[in-house]
Amino acid sequence: MAMTMSDSGASRLRRQLESGGFEARLYVKQLSQQSDGDRDLQEHRQRIQALAEETAQNLKRNVYQNYRQFIETAREISYLESEMYQLSHLLTEQKSSLESIPLTLLPAAAAAGTAAASGGEEGVGGAGARDHLRGQAGFFPSPGGASRDGSGPGEEGKQRTLTTLLEKVEGCRHLLETPGQYLVYNGDLVEYDADHMAQLQRVHGFLMNDCLLVATWLPQRRGMYRYNALYSLDGLAVVNVKDNPPMKDMFKLLMFPESRIFQAENAKIKREWLEVLEETKRALSEKRRREQEEAAAPRGPPQVTSKATNPFEDDEEEEPAVPEVEEEKVDLSMEWIQELPEDLDVCIAQRDFEGAVDLLDKLNHYLEDKPSPPPVKELRAKVDERVRQLTEVLVFELSPDRSLRGGPKATRRAVSQLIRLGQCTKACELFLRNRAVAVHTAIRQLRIEGATLLYIQKLCHVFFTSLLETAKEFEIDFAGTDSGCYSAFVVWARSAMGMFVDAFSKQVFDSKESLSTAAECVKVAKEHCQQLGDIGLDLTFIIHALLVKDIQGALHSYKEIIIEATKHRNSEEMWRKMNLMTPEALGKLKEEMKSCGVSNFEQYTGDDCWVNLSYTVVAFTKQTMGFLEEALKLYFPELHMVLLESLVEIILVAVQHVDYSLRCEQDPEKKAFIRQNASFLYETVLPVVEKRFEEGVGKPAKQLQDLRNASRLIRVNPESTTSVV
């Protein structure tokens, strides 16, 4: 009974949600008014979620049931579309064949048809049928037998055929202006994406005797195409693509800097495309070779005009004819030289950079110490164009747009080939630019941790490891090259160090960290920087020069903090002994003073937990020695005067306060206590500061010695009103 009520409630809820006038806002409002509390709302929410899951399951089940029917329907539509396209193509070819027949040949064709009908020469009719079928397949006969000036009927017929077909292609009128150009083969193809093998578009290929035209199919206008691309056969390579069902009957065209994959209608048409492309390329290469040989052929010596035919020639001015020196020939008929431009195109398209540079080295070695007649210059021009293309590809390989994974070793291949091409300076520039972007990206991807020291440790590890790897790879790639590259690397290293210091300072100094934290961070950076000395790269002076301003600012800020704190304690000074209350507190103070370098602190302690020194003097001692220890961690020669002047300013605040109190105090007992604190400052604290400074810096500080000597005025004449400044 409960199950029946639950089912009826779910059905009623489903009908309510499926109704056309359903409004969610109104429904929720009514539900909130009718519910007794939170429990009713939770139960209703569970019912709606269960209904949503049930609906999703039903929808998924229906999709699975109809999925096969969807696939079969789509396949049938595709088959029907392909058949309609083939039928349209056949009709277009029939129309083109009829239009290509010259009107002057119609009587001869009629006579030939009559002769064939009366039992005449059967071979003529058979040849005509074969020619007709060949035109149907897309072939067009070559202009063999036509006169050189193009006045023969074969040449006119081919030109008319080319004109008729290209009139169906929008945007290619300029092709008709090339003399001697004719159509060799044409047909429909389907283009696929070279990376993902996804179908892109339908195209139609027009193969001329010197180029290949690709036009896209216009679905709105049957039999019409739009110009897409034009490729010269000199820079075109054809590669057969192995069948891998369902991808079959495909071939690839390689032309720098791109490659395109096309699919033929069947295996026969694919084979025809491959054969005709190779034959046409071979014929064009042979034609170019003959032209080179004709251009390089020696010409006969110029005829000397006889004296009889030149009556105006003076006997006295007659000079003996200088025989013309015959130019040395260079044999360019070898197969590898003839195919060199195409082989370079294939190597570039297949990213075989080493093979391309090897071919260039082989050619340069062959043409070394040989003259440069026109054929050699023409070959050089073609090869130089391929060298330019290869250089552009290698430059792109080193560009920051490429993936930066793999570290500096990933650039070795492109860099080495650029160096072999004589582009050492460009290779150095691109390599360093690539590594700069890689280092910048690595720094930017670092996650800023809560603890500054932890972040700085990660930053130093990432940066200096990248710098070390870059230096090692640079030494491998550019070994034996011009020393100017090493100067460029030093300049780059300085620039990279500037990028590191920017990130370092932003996290350490701009965030106003304590001096102790800043000192630890600088110490970590120095230690990593010193590791570069193992490979002969010392950048310590650079990091010092870049950090000096920030460290000066930090020392100045912390000095001001100590001075303000000391002045505040001086203003509240009562000149009383310290009572630490517990032996533990006294022991802790002794350890602190011992760590500060005050070894004779025992003589200033009294009975129980008393210390015969003022709280102000003790706090000043700890704070000053702490400042000195942290500052020595940051020390380098450029900071010598900054640190020394800061110490003198801090010490003067305490000395002047003691001097002033000693002169102004009238109570003999307090005056004696002040003299005891002054003695601690002058005879214990100042010598410790001076000694520790000399140990950390390596040389004594004259200013500290002068300050200690000047303090003797107070001890010699305590009643004097002269202040120590």
For the residues of 375-426, what is the DSSP string, one character each?
Answer: HHHHHHHHHHHHHHHHHHHHHHHTSTTS--TT-GGGGHHHHHHHHHTT-HHH
Q: How far apart are CA 18 and CA 59, in angstroms?
A: 15
Q: Which of 568, 566, 620 is nearest to 593 (CA)?
A: 620
pLDDT tens sequence across 78-120: 668 767 867 877 787 787 777 766 544 544 444 444 444 344 4
Three-state secondary structure readout of 319-376: CCCCCCCCCCCCCCCCHHHHCHHHHHHHHHHCCCHHHHHHHHHHHHHHCCCCCCCHHH
**Cα separations in angstroms, 250 against 275, 526, 719:** 14, 61, 109
CB 229 within 8 A of CB 175: no
- Give me the phi and psi of 282, to 5 degrees please: -65, -40
State residue 128's pLDDT score: 40
* H or E element in which residue 255 lies: strand 250-255
If one looks up domain 168-294 in CATH, what number appears? Answer: 2.30.29.30
CB 212 within 8 A of CB 231: yes
CB 524 within 8 A of CB 456: yes
- Give me the phi and psi of 613, to 5 degrees please: -140, 155
Q: How far apart are CA 430 and CA 424, in angstroms?
A: 10
Which residues on adjacent β-strands are paired with residue 213?
206, 230
Q: Which of 645, 507, 651 is nearest to 566 (CA)?
A: 651
Number of H helices, E strands in the chain: 24, 10
Query: How many other C-beta atoms can be found within 10 angstroms of the C-beta atom of residue 559?
Result: 20
DSSP state letter for 603: G
Alpha helices per DSSP H over 509-539: 515-531
Q: Which of 370, 210, 222 is nearest to 282 (CA)?
A: 210
Residues 6+ apart with CB under 8 A from 529: 464, 539, 540, 543
> Which amino acid, 218?
L
Helix, strand, or coil (residue 45): helix
Bridge pairing between strands 250-255 and 237-241: antiparallel
**Cα separations in angstroms, 660 against 124, 486, 571, 668, 685:** 134, 62, 12, 15, 19
Fold of 336-492: Methane Monooxygenase Hydroxylase; Chain G, domain 1 (1.20.58)
CA angle (143, 149, 151) in 5-degree steps:
70
State residue 297's pLDDT score: 66
Which pTM value belongs to this model? 0.50
Six token digits for residue 245 = 């069902």
State residue 332's pLDDT score: 77
Bridge pairing between strands 258-263 and 250-255: antiparallel
Q: What is the CA radius of gyration of the chain?
A: 47
Q: How far apart are CA 99 and CA 95, in angstroms?
A: 6
Query: How many other C-beta atoms can be found within 10 angstroms of the C-beta atom of residue 369?
Result: 4
Q: How far apart are CA 448 and CA 460, in angstroms?
A: 13
**Cα separations in angstroms, 232 against 113, 190, 335, 624:** 42, 21, 21, 82
How big is the chain, counted in residues?
Answer: 725
Burial of 536 (0-12, 13-18, 19+ CB in 10 A): exposed
Burial of 81 (0-12, 13-18, 19+ CB in 10 A): exposed
- Strand order across the 183-192 sheet: 169-170, 225-232, 211-217, 199-208, 183-192, 258-263, 250-255, 237-241
* Max CA pair span of the chain: 156
Residues 6+ apart with CB under 8 A from 470: 408, 435, 439
State residue 160's pLDDT score: 67
CB 441 within 8 A of CB 496: no
Q: Enumerate residue ranges in the chain where pLDDT < 70.
A: 1-10, 64, 67-68, 75, 78-79, 82, 85, 100-160, 173-177, 256, 297-328, 401-407, 449, 482-483, 711-725
Question: In this structure, is the dihedral angle defined by the CA atoms of residues 45, 51, 54 and 59, taken in order, positive or negative?
Answer: negative
Cα of first residue to Cα of last residue in the chain, in angstroms, is: 103
- Give me the phi and psi of 249, to 5 degrees please: 60, 45
State residue 402's pLDDT score: 67
Enumerate the domain spans of the chain: 39-88, 168-294, 336-492, 578-716
CB 88 within 8 A of CB 223: yes
State residue 177's pLDDT score: 65
Six token digits for residue 126 = 């058979």
Q: How far apart are CA 214 and CA 188, in angstroms?
A: 10
Q: Which of 259, 130, 141, 257 is nearest to 197 (CA)?
A: 259
Query: How many other C-beta atoms can be found within 10 angstroms of the C-beta atom of residue 414?
Result: 23
CA angle (134, 136, 142) in 5-degree steps:
45
Six token digits for residue 673 = 């206590």
